[in-house]
Amino acid sequence: MRADARRNYDKLVGAAREVFAAEGGGASMEAVARKAGVGVGTLYRHFPRRIDLVQAVYEDDVEELVETADRAVAELEPWPAVVAFLEAFVRYARTKRTFLNELREAFDKDPALKLRLRERIDEATELVVGRAQRAGAVRPDVEGADLTQLLGPMCTSPTLTDEQSVRLLPMILDGLRTRGDVG
C-alpha cells in the first residue's frame, strides 16, 4: 500500500469513528469524507461499500480492546487490570451500539466474521478475568469468557432480555448496596 493511501486509510477509519459517534451509524459517507478531509471517491476507493467502512471501524475497535487486555495484564495488578479491561469493554460496546444495525447487516453476509471477532474478545476477557480469579480477586462463580455475554448485550441491546438481566443487573446493583462491614 502506497504511503499516501495508508495515511488516508487511517484518517478515514478515525474520521468514521468520530462521525458515527457524533451522528449515529446512519451518518453520511459525505460527512465521513469531509471529516477526514478527502473526497468521497477516496473514501470509496478504500471502502467500496458503506458496510466495509463500518466493519473496518468495528474491527479496529476490537483490536484496540484486545490490546488493552494485553497492556492491562502486563502493567497492572490483577484486579485493576479487570477494572481497566471492563472499562475498555464498555467503551467498546458503547461504540458498537452506534452502528449496531449496520453491523448486523455485515454479520448476516459474513457469519465467519462475527465468530472470529467474538473469539478474539473472549480470549482477551479470559486472559484478564481468569488471571484475577486465580489471584482470588474475582469471585470464581463468574465464568470469565461469559462476562461479555452479560455486559455486551446490556450495553448494546435496546431491551435487556429477562434471562440476562436476572444474572447481570443484581451484580451491578450490588455496588449500590450498603454493606455492613467489609473493606
Chosen residue from 5, 101, 115, 116 binding a copy of itself by CB under 8 A: 101
What length is written for the chain?
Answer: 183
Q: Which of 73, 16, 26, 25 is nearest to 47 (CA)?
A: 16
> Is 39 an interacting residue with respect to DNA (CB under 7 A)?
yes
Chosen residue from 9, 14, 21, 60 binding a copy of itself by CB under 8 A: 21
> Is 49 an interacting residue with respect to DNA (CB under 7 A)?
yes
Q: Give the nearer residue to DNA in terms of CB position, either 16 or 151.
A: 16
**Cell numbers placing 82:** 479487570
Q: Which span (32-40, 55-63, 120-128, 131-139) binds DNA, by CB under 7 A?
A: 32-40
- Rounded distance, CA 174 to CA 162, Å? 18
* Cα distances (Å, whole numbers) of residue 162 to 2, 117, 153, 165, 169: 51, 26, 12, 5, 10
Chosen residue from 14, 18, 21, 45 binding DNA by CB under 7 A: 45
Asked if 156 contacts 98 with a C-beta cutoff of 8 angstroms, the reply is no
Mask for 119-158, x = binds a copy of itself (CB under 8 A)? -----------------xxxx--x-----------x--xx
